[in-house]
Every structure is written in C-alpha cells, then in structure tokens.
Amino acid sequence: MRMLWLASCLALAACGSGKESNEMSADGQVDLADNPLLQVSPLSLQAPPFDRIATGHFLPAFEAGMRQQLDEIEAIATDPREPDFANTLEAMERSGAILARTRKIFFQLTELISDEALVAVQAEVAPRLAAHADAIYQNQALYTRVDRLHEQREVLALDPESLQLLGLTHRRFLRAGAHLTAEKQARLRTINADMAAAEVRFQDNLQREMQASAVFVDDAQALAGLDAAALSAAAEAARSAGHAEGYLLTLEAPSSQSVLALLDNADVRAVVFEASTNRGSNGNANDNQAIVAKLAQLRAEKASLLGYPSFAAYVLEEETAGTPEAVLGLLRELAPKIRLRAESDAASMEAWLAEQGIVEPLEPWDWAYRARQLRQAGSAINESELRAYFELERVVSAGVFGMARALYGIE
C-alpha cells in the first residue's frame, strides 16, 4: 500500500521525479555508462524511467547538467550578434535541459524519501547549485544583453508573455546581485553557498529528529482510542525501528499530530505533544537552534547587500503580499478574530466537559481530543467508521487518479 502511495506521488509530480533502483555493475558499483538522467525519457510524456534510476546516477547527472548549461550560457553571453529576444531570452530558457530534468526528479525524491545516500548527495550538491545559479545571474556579459533588451522593451513589440519573461529574467539578475561590485558579488556567492549548506543540514536534522522523537509505548491499553488500523501501523513502526514488541507513534510533519485527537490517555497525549513541539531544540546532535541563528544572520546580510531592509522584504517582493507591511497588516487584522474564536471554542469545550463531570483543565494536548468529542456529541456521524470508506488505495485510484483522468485526460 505504501508503495502505491509513493508511486502515485511520483507519477503526479508533473513527470518530474524518479526513484531508486539497484542498477549495479558486476563489481557492485552503479553503472553510469547508460545514465538515464542524461537522456530524454522515451516513455509517455517523458515520464522518468523509475526502474532504471539509481541514487548513484544523480551526482554525475548534476555535474554534467551544470557543465552543459554553463557552456550554453557562455555561448549566449559571447554571441557576437546584437541581443534580441530569440538569441538571448529564448536561448536561456532552452538551456540546462539535463540539469532541469535531474533537479525535478531528485528533489521530488528528497521530499518523499528519507535516505542517507540521497541526503549525502543533497549536502554535496546544494552549495554547488547555489554557485551555479550565481555563475549565470552574475555573468556580466549576459546581464548586459538582458539589461539592454529590458531598456528597449517598449519598442520591441513583444507579446505579453514574452514581455513578462523579460521582466522576470531582468529582475532575477538584480536579485542575484548582477549590479553589485565584484567584491560584494563575491561575498554574496559565499553567503548563498553557506545558506544552501545550512538549509540542507537543517532539513536533515529535522528528519532525524522526527525519527528519534517517535514515542514508544509498550502497553496497548495506553493507546486506547486508536482504531485497529492505527494500532497495527504503530506496531509495524515499532518492529521497523527494531523493537521486538510494543508500539511506536511516529511524528508527522509539519507540526500537528493526528493521534492527539484519538488517544484517550492524557499522559500519552502529553508526551506526543511535547515530542512534537520540542523538535529541533532538544540540545542533541539534531538541535537546529544554532543553524536557525546562522541562517537569520546570513539572510539579513544578503538582504542588506542587495539593498533590502530585511530578508522578508527580499522574499515577499516575489509573493502576492508584496511587502512585510502587507503581511503584518493582515496578521494584525486576523489575530484578534482568531483569538476570539479560540476563546469561544475553549469556553464551549470547558462547558461541555463540566456537563460531563470532567474537572481537568484543558491542556494544549487535550484540544484536538476534546474538540473531536464535542463534535461527535453533536453529530450522528462516527469519524472512525467514516474513515473506512476512504481506504488509501481507493482514495489514490478513484480519487487522485480519477481526478487526473477527468481534468487532464491522463490514463
């Protein structure tokens, strides 16, 4: 069942992902002579050949893809012809086919699979990808061509889509520091590489911490409230983690834990809640506090170099909100309303608990559990029974794939 779900996620990633295989040569090494990432897939819609892709293919493909794109970019930047949309913008858009294909597959995998070999590749390639982007968008000859086209945009008679691409590309150069001095560009390249490496370490630590913080319970009675399927999954997780018996409640991302709405035992709920909220700040090898501080410092310096008052201003320039002030304005408008609703919900739950003769205070780990009880008290629907109608294979096959067929004609 889990493999069906994984395959579904990969297949729906816009034909932009892949999975590991055990494609090895006779001496135990990955055979790179026929690296599938270096070729256009012959499958329908260029879907990745999942059965041929091995972890060992990724780093050589990244390296080949970066070399290919830098050669293509150099040819564009040194083109003796006057810059025009076709020989500059369109040529840039066509560059880097191998790298684009490899990135799509690799980063879809790292989102879905926790694997030591993939993490090692990501740790090595992340700062190199940052440096690769800088090599393109800090290329002065290339920037000069794009800047000249941008200055002439009113007389180029471009269609709206092409004009949009020109504007976005020009802004990408500015956001990469193409207009800065050589000294500031060098510092920006160092910052970008350090940020990329720190972000990989942060994500790796978080993944390890989620695994390490899973809650082990040796008594099935302490898990009262879980249905048979959830209890079986917890037992299977415990066996996979090396426990001969007992149950393991694995943590979910990003923060809320679905078992908190189901567990009858308040002590177990408290342990799960604390394990979830303390992730990354337990003072162990997976602690992310120092990395967060370093990232904040690097981001602030990057924003300052590029002329932004804050990193938030730099990021939000590309988002719908536009500015930190717009975001804060929305939060200031919503926060009082959210607080009033939360207080109202808490009052309703406390009143209902009093009616049931329950005098315990409402703790953070009780909220989802009591809210579920209150909903069920006012409804004839049993959520556990309803869940049986949404079995995973049915949801994926009839739901996700059914929607893909209906909307896009994908069979």
Q: Which helix (H) or strand (E) holds 189?
A: helix 182-212
Whether residue 313 is predicted with pLDDT greater than 70 in this model: the reply is yes
| Residue 170 pLDDT | 98
Per-residue model confidence as pLDDT tens digits over 28-83: 455 556 899 999 999 988 999 989 999 999 999 999 999 999 999 999 999 999 99
Per-residue model confidence as pLDDT tens digits over 248-260: 999 998 889 999 9
Q: Which CATH number fits domain 2-179: 3.30.450.20, 1.10.1370.40, 1.10.20.10, 1.10.3720.10?
A: 1.10.1370.40
Quote the CA–CA distance of 144 and 152 in Å, as a whole number: 12
HEC string of 114-181 equals CCHHHHHHHHHHHHHHHHHHHHHHCCHHHHHHHHHHHHCHHHCCCCHHHHHHHHHHHHHHHHCCCCCC
* Mean of the per-residue pLDDT values of the chain: 90
Whether residue 146 is predicted with pLDDT greater than 80 in this model: the reply is yes
Whether residue 118 is predicted with pLDDT greater than 80 in this model: the reply is yes
Enumerate the domain spans of the chain. 2-179, 214-277
Whether residue 278 is predicted with pLDDT greater than 90 in this model: the reply is yes
| Residue 282 pLDDT | 93
| Residue 8 pLDDT | 45
Span 206-221, mean pLDDT? 94
| Residue 193 pLDDT | 97
Span 132-150, mean pLDDT? 98
| Residue 185 pLDDT | 98
Whether residue 210 is predicted with pLDDT greater than 60 in this model: the reply is yes
Per-residue model confidence as pLDDT tens digits over 6-17: 444 454 444 443
Per-residue model confidence as pLDDT tens digits over 345-399: 999 999 999 999 998 899 999 999 999 999 888 765 666 666 667 777 888 888 8
Model-level pTM? 0.83
Whether residue 196 is predicted with pLDDT greater than 80 in this model: the reply is yes
Whether residue 27 is predicted with pLDDT greater than 50 in this model: the reply is no
| 73-81: long-range contacts, CB 8 A cutoff, minimum separation 24 | 73/135, 73/136, 73/139, 73/142, 76/142, 76/145, 77/139, 77/141, 77/142, 77/145, 78/141, 79/145
Q: 3 or 298, which is more confident?
A: 298
| Residue 31 pLDDT | 55
Span 267-283, mean pLDDT? 96
